[in-house]
């Protein structure tokens, strides 16, 4: 399945609703994995994201293209190598980071209590 960027570009609001970001036409689990990985690591190339997410290259590329289109991921090129990171200035990225960190903290606390 290919990502249709026209759906993103013709939206009336500048940023899609959260349910669109996390679940749209593409796998929401894969999107969340990528966001989680980018939350933990400052910058990664696509091969490293593919390896850590355990997703195929095409899927990761589609998710990253979507995130770039809505402005939450930035791409830098060094020759043929592309490096991805969460957009540091975007307010929604801060919310994503806070959510991921809070979720992991609560999982850790829950695991400790259940041990």
Name the packing angle between helices 28-40 and 57-69 (round to 10°).
80
pLDDT of residue 114: 72
The residues spanned by each domain of the chain are: 27-114
Q: 48 to each of 68, 83, 95, how far by Cα in Å?
A: 18, 10, 24
**Token reading at 72:** 């939450």
| Torsions phi, psi for 108 (to 5 deg) | -60, -45
pLDDT in tens, the chain (115 residues): 444 544 444 444 455 666 565 665 545 789 999 999 999 998 999 999 999 999 999 999 999 999 999 999 999 999 999 999 999 988 889 998 898 888 887 766 766 777 6
Q: Say how many residues make up the chain.
A: 115
pLDDT of residue 19: 56
What's the pTM value of the predicted model, to 2 decimals?
A: 0.72
The CA distance from 39 to 96, in Å, is 8
- CATH code of the region 27-114: 1.10.10.10
């Amino acid at each position: 399945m290919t990502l249709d960027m026209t759906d993103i570009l013709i939206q009336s609001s500048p940023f899609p609703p959260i349910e669109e970001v996390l679940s749209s036409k593409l796998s929401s689990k894969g999107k969340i994995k990528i966001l989680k990985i980018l939350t933990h690591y400052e910058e990664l190339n696509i091969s490293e994201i593919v390896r850590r997410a355990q997703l195929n290259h095409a899927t990761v590329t589609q998710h990253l293209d979507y995130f770039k289109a809505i402005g939450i991921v930035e791409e830098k090129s060094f020759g043929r190598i592309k490096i991805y990171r969460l957009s540091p200035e975007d307010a929604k990225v801060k919310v994503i980071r806070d959510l991921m960190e809070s979720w992991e903290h609560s999982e850790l606390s829950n695991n400790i209590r259940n041990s």
